[in-house]
Structure 1
């Protein structure tokens, strides 16, 4: 028994060090290219004639392209393997992101944001699916939390960098916002080629694991898959997964967290900047909430894995983020807005890993590829609704308040839906709780 535990901890350590830092780096760059538009907006909006409503709409159109191509993209990944498909995703989104430097008005801005969503579709659910092929159930929330920590980390480190680039003088006939898009797109293309060399599709090909470690991991993953498939509520088919009520419920829950996350990504720099800070100061201030969120989300995910509880680990952070958005709507000082945005960041980040540990408990094979992509694509429409509603209401009222209340409401719905799903699934413990009995 002792040697088995020793083997498990050795494999776990190797998986964490070999896989997680690299996929974190990929997501870091991905997230930066999604939300640097919030910094570009400081001068781009005026240069190309974007109103708040047009900016909010264009920012959100990314998720329409994402929504339409997410499921097909993840099914292709399931068929051809993560290595080839993730490389394709990164190279194409890097090219589209760089092309955003040459938008000239609302229409071209809309088109490029839509195409960026098409290019990047499949990346996030592809990595979530990839992690489920490597990490046993007991470690899945922590693995997902470290991967997803790259989003707040991208904001924490990327905000000061983006703010600093926005202080550059015009070069080569390009404005500050154009330089921002081009400079921050280069790593995506370069990393796409690195993925082709470094990413391994399955544990069977992992030469960096010793034979006994590889055998143990393959056996454990197969044992868990067999356990799930023997369960009455298990789904393996792609079409069945898309129609599974649990998948639709998780998508609705994820909708609220996405509305919150991308409201922060697109509007936080402008909300902070309205208190008179320059772009570099705004970037440094915007980093603070994200740094705190990273620490909390990893500790929260570890607690969720250790206790095997998922439901309340999603509900509590959603409620916190909801209340903090209401507070942000009332904020009339820089300190108040930063405090509110910090709690929002912590809540949204903490909810995500326990939520993403749920789908692989009742989905596998093509069902997992389709189901995870469906949750992500439908859920990420919140990333369209949140920023677009805020832009529209800001244009009508001159204030962020009403829009922030709408986003708060989506997080309240997430919390309620999680409780309803848990109650509905109480006779199916694979949903509400992780099985630790093997």
Structure 2
């Protein structure tokens, strides 16, 4: 029920968005969790598993069947018992009427109740179905985490592409200024034609980067729309994320990660299947009761009435070693589920540690990249003044421009890597949605 209420609250929190509307991060997470088809598929699988568990539990209850049967026969035994059940048997002094009876018709109305008293398949089957439902619900929660993290990555990609577009435009503006100065120096006789041509080559490269960055931004917006569960179009971000703001998001102490929880429940279901295979050697006991009406002419008629109660026990002693082989199969499946759970758990622990280390690395890289960018911008400003005054050559200015472009690119990437690493810590811990959505949206 918790996952159902959680998803319902997410649906209620989704704003009405047009195709061109900007989304902030929380809106993106809510929309992705609610609208992604694979998340909806997981929700439906969880609902199916819950219904299957309810169906398995229903086998504990008695089974009541109402039936109406019509028969017609001139068979001696059948005719005799039909007239007996209809309570209209007539005794004859000779056997001829019994040996050659007329056609006898019978409408039988029967209400039957069957109640299992001991059947391990019912108890183990219900418990297995319950574990399967819990595994499916955990899988649905993990699908929501994956959808939210995918939307976060797409959101961050739009931010990175937009930042890259800005520094590319700055680089293009500076390349145009450099080309203008080189051309003016050549026209005034102070510069060389080779310098002007080199400046034009640098300008062409800056224009190529501007075109590529525009395409990158368009594709990033399309990818964000896809991550939000939309069928097409583009989506833009309402506000960029900063590493400082994202680091300030409080961490949530979570329990077992949802995908690991699903594997745990699957392993428990496999263990129950093994125990059920062992219980197959036990007998089954049950109780049945019936109330019957018989009539010669009318359906549901009541010329004759009768009731019966039966209790029985069945014990399959030998089935060609089929139960033994099924037990071996169940044991192997149980061991496989446990091994799979252990493998994924170890990988999850590694990825959590990797995320923490990458976050620390990205934090240091961001500080270094910002310092390098400040130094490169100041160096270009000083060198541009020297070049304008004729105290420096163009090759130095172009080399410094290349270094400045690299510093800008690294600064943009470093901040994106840090934000992504901080989000990845929460994702690998299984608390991504709980950390980034308001608390009231996560309360069951």
* Structure (1 or 2) with the greater strand fraction: 2
Same fold? TM cut 0.5:
no
Alignment TM class, shorter chain as reference:
under 0.3
TM value normalised by structure 1: 0.22
TM value normalised by structure 2: 0.22
